[in-house]
Structure 1
Amino acid sequence: MPLALGPLVIPLVIACALFMEAMDSTVLVTALPAMARDLGHDPVSLKLAVTSYVMSLGMFIPVCGWVADRFGPRTVFRTAIGIFVAGALLSASSTSLAMLVVARFIQGVGGAMMVPVGRIIIFRSVPKTEFVRAMIYLTVPAQLGPIVGPILGGFMTTYLHWRLIFLVSVPTGALAIYLAGRYIEDRREPHPGRLDWPGFALSALGGGAAMLGLSLIDGTLIAPSTAAWMAAAGGLLLLVYVFYARHVERPLLDLRFFQIPTFNASVAGGALFRVGLGALPFLLPLMLQEGLGMTAFASGSITCATAFGALFMRSMALRILHRLGFRRVLIYNAVLSALAIAACGLFMPGTPHWLIWTVVLLGGFFPSMQFTSLNALAYADLDSRDVGRATSLASVVQQVSLGMGVTVSGVALNLTRDLHGREAFLWTDFWPAFLLMGLLIVASIPITARLPHNAGDEITRQKSKA
């Protein structure tokens, strides 16, 4: 590795991939209504393009560590970027919803390996003295993606063509592949051990079938009865995995971590919160464009406010946690988050844009505090040797929860429209879905309320000293 650029060139290479993935999802949701019209479907049907990507992440994230150790992190990282870019090109050339869903699933395979393996590379390559700075470099693109994505996606969709939004990742991906081959060493573990193949098959097939079946229950691509059977089969496989995981020493997804109160509150309680919040990036652009008649560009200029709210909250999160503690923050902030999300359902024609932008800003502000708290709390009582396996379990639950938010909100939106006997959406069709998402966020409170008052205090004390 050329030493002139220093060790921080590695985080910058990983940051290219992280920016590419962070921007991809926010670019897509802004263009969903235009994509739906071209592909001959209603906008809610395009939720499949979102859930298929998230489903793929949930299926393949658990094995990314083993794959990196088995084949080398640099090789896997570059291959993952190539798969992601190939999926983007397939998405750009899709002529049907089914083809788009398959293309997004392929992109998810790349995304599942790309970012986690990139973090593994940083952990193994960057000196400890430079680690904090490396994490800062890695955080910046994750923050910029949700800001740039909606605006860029809205501009391309309004003034050019939605297919171009998928081509944005091509030059970034090519640059990342080149830089990774030039500056990243292929350090691998000599004995990665055996992969839990039965656990991978049961969890991946079960989770994938259950989520896909629920997403297709509206009869978009297959008969509702077939989708219901698919969801039921997936649920059965997941039950078999629960039984299997209890009788294996080191299962792929170790459910025994849920016996730790702080981890359970973070992941189980956080799952309900993420289901509620996961619908916002999907519902909000639809409401602004289909309900209020905005262009994709105007919609993107508003939805990016959530990212600004999240950025502002991150500068305050540690001080708030240190003063109030995890339990109180998770309870009261969940209520504030639910109110901010539900308030989006009150938008109507004539609502001032500055007021919409402010409410959407709060819809990023309070949830960012919740995510920061939940993510930190997950590690409060874990042993260092268990961090990797616990992270895999938490990551899968997080991704599935976000995908379920899109699925549930889509079903609620369709039901409201069908009850009124309309084919097109009106602004009055959206408030029940936003209200439902707010109630799901509130439903996370009983789980976090069981935490002791001093839960996670050790984390905030250590970070305050730092």
Structure 2
Amino acid sequence: MAENITGNERRGLSPAALLVAGAFFMEFLDGTVIATALPDMAKSFGVQAVDLNIGISAYLITLAVLIPASGWIADRFGARKVFAIALAIFTLASVFCGLSRTVDQFVAMRVLQGMGGALMVPVGRLAVLRTTPKHLLITAIATLTWPALVAPIIGPPLGGFITRYADWRWIFFINVPLGLVAIILALRIIPNIVEETRRPFDMPGFVATSVAMVSLVYAMELLGAAHPQGGLTFGLLATGSLALLYALRHFQKTPWPMIRLDAMQVPTFRVTMYGGSLFRASISAVPFLLPLMFQVGFGMDAFRSGLLVLAVFVGNLTIKPATTPLIRWLGFRKLLLINGGLNVLSLLACAFLTPQTPVWLIMLILYLGGVFRSIQFTAVSTLAFSDVPSAQMSYANTLFSTATQLAVGLGITLGAIGIRIGEKVSEMTGLAAAPGMSFRLAFAAIALVCLVGMFDTLRLEKDAGSAVSKKQG
């Protein structure tokens, strides 16, 4: 199996990479497809649409909490078996999500879905990274990152179409045939990578990271709620911060840490963890904010708003072939700075949209946003592993996957907080009567977060990641 994959990797597209990308697509799609269905789901559950963001956040944060443990599970039981079991859990949970009758039931099943997704992420990515040489890393990473870019954009129109012509519950039922096919292919294609060294399970590290992530994210959820609970929010922030500090110290001292931090000594990896996480959080809020702004703010129906958001997907898709040449031409540092600035401007442009804005102009802004978003996402993800030694690749992958999922989950919460802040600011400034003003102000806040994340890029050397980009100076 390994020899077959290595041969196919000459084109950078092995069967395993394509299957893993397909599984990622299904996983990321489920993380965002309910965005346009939120108003209809809220009516079914008797709550406000913005309050249902917990259904998205709970799923994504469960991924972040369990990803470190899944790396250990994969090493112990083998990549092929774990990947297939993950698909089975994900598919079963999808059925239960569609059958949910209350918000509590729905969130519980989204957590179960997240458990399946958490087993898929590091196992699939590591199986591909271990069989890809450095000079083909850009192509391999581009294959694995397209689901994270495409699924959040395909999700809204697909969710809108299903909601309008069927029922939102079918959003989850369609995963059943896809999941069954993926399970069969996984048992045939995924290499059965098993770590020969049996490392013990780091229970203190796992508990500490779990407490930290759940506490911090729940605190963020409360900050974005209509009626924040000051005492509880402060307590959760304090608990999460203390647990995170303990976990970081524990990982540095224990011989078998759940997450090894060695890769943080690599400058290129460190930049993608700090500034890169702010970028990922900011763009993750976009698929959540856009459909709500178009529907709740501008009064569009779910299907029409979903079709507009498709312009972002077209931008992602059309620029893909040019991403690798751009990285090789400009190098990582120059590309991330130039394209990052354009990405900030595209986010800020969304703050100036109104119901009277011509459709062609809306689609142009969203299309260009998709272009800049795609380039930045692929460049950041590739740079992360460009200088990481092979011996550290497994732990670096686990750390990167955990940080990515946490950033995505916090991005949704960031969007909700942005809306709440937008409501307060628009009321204070007398702009509350303007259609969608709270959502437009949220986009301005998101653009600012993305801009702050860019400052970390200035610390990169001119030849950063040259082993992959082949760009010297």
TM-score under structure 1 length normalisation: 0.88
Return the offset for 1:376: 1.8
**Structure 2 SS opposite 1:346:** coil
Distance 1:132 1:436 in 2: 31
1:42 maps onto 2:42 in alignment: no
Instruction: Provide structure 1 residue ranges, at least 5 long, that are not aligned to the other structure.
Output: none
The residue aligned with 1:337 is 343
Structure 2 CA distance for partners of 1:406 and 1:148, relative to 1, 3 Å: closer
Change beyond 3 A, Cα 1:169–1:405: same
Aligned to 2:80: 74
Code of the residue aligned with 1:443 in structure 2: it is V
What residue number does 1:357 align with?
A: 363
Residue 11 of structure 2 aligns with which residue?
A: none
Equivalent residue letter for 1:362 = L
1:298 lines up with 2:304 in the alignment: yes
TM-score by length of 2: 0.87
For residues 153 and 436 of structure 1, what CA distance do their matches in structure 2 show? Answer: 26
Counterpart Cα distance in 2 of 1:101 and 1:220:
19
1:461 is matched with 470
- Superposed displacement of residue 462, structure 1: 8.0
Of the three residues 387, 391, 402, the one matched with 2:393 is: 387
Alignment equivalent of 1:169, drawn from 172, 175, 184: 175
Contact 2:62 2:118 in 1 (8 A): yes
1:252 corresponds to which residue? Answer: 258
Q: Is contact 1:143–1:311 with CA below 8 Å preserved after alignment? A: no
Q: Which amino acid aligns with 1:197?
A: M
Matching residue of 1:444: 453
Equivalent-residue separation in structure 2 for 1:16 and 1:438 (angstroms): 30
- Determine whether 1:370 maps to 2:379: no
The 1:398/1:31 distance shift into structure 2, 3 A limit, reads same
Q: Which runs of 5+ in 2 are unaligned?
A: 2-6, 9-13
Whole-Å separation in 1 of the counterparts to 2:124 and 2:292: 33
Q: 1:98 to 1:426 in 2, by over 3 A?
A: farther
- TM-superposed CA distance for 1:216, in Å, is 2.9
1:109 paired to 2:118: no
**Are residue 348 (structure 1) and residue 354 (structure 2) matched?**
yes
1:216 counterpart (208, 217, 222): 222
Name 1:427's counterpart in structure 2.
Answer: 436
- Equivalent positions of 1:58-207 (< 5 A) are 58-120=64-126, 145-146=151-152, 148-181=154-187, 186=192, 188-207=194-213
Q: Structure 1, residues 419-463: CA drift from partner, whole Å, max 9, x if none?
A: 539999941121211001101111022211122222222321189
Query: 2:404 maps to which residue?
Result: 398
Q: Percent identity?
A: 37
- Identify the match of residue 19 of structure 1 among 25, 32, 57: 25
For 2:452 and 2:133, the matched residues in 1 are separated by 43
C-alpha distance 134-93 of structure 1, shift in aligned 2 (>3 A): same
SS in 2 for 1:406: helix
Alpha-carbon distance, 1:47 to partner: 1.4
Q: CA RMSD in A?
A: 3.4
State whether residues 417 and 425 of structure 1, in contact with CA within 8 Å, keep that contact through their aligned partners in structure 2.
Answer: no
Rounded to whole Å, the distance in 2 between the matches of 1:76 and 1:354 is 46
Between the aligned partners of 1:358 and 1:326, the Cα distance in structure 2 is 26
1:51 is aligned to 57
* Displacement of 1:388: 1.4
Following TM superposition, by how much is the alpha carbon of 1:48 offset from its aligned partner in structure 2, in angstroms?
0.8
Taking a change above 3 Å as real, the CA distance of residues 131 and 174 of structure 1, as seen in their structure-2 partners, is farther
Q: Does 1:239 find its partner at 2:245?
A: yes
Whole-angstrom CA distance in 1 between matches of 2:343 and 2:149: 20
Cα distance between partner residues in 2 of 1:35 and 1:309 = 29
Q: Is the 8 A contact 1:279 1:406 kept in 2?
A: yes
SS at match of 2:34: helix
Does the C-alpha gap of structure 1 residues 262 and 184 become closer, same or farther in structure 2, counting only changes over 3 Å? Answer: closer
Aligned length: 462
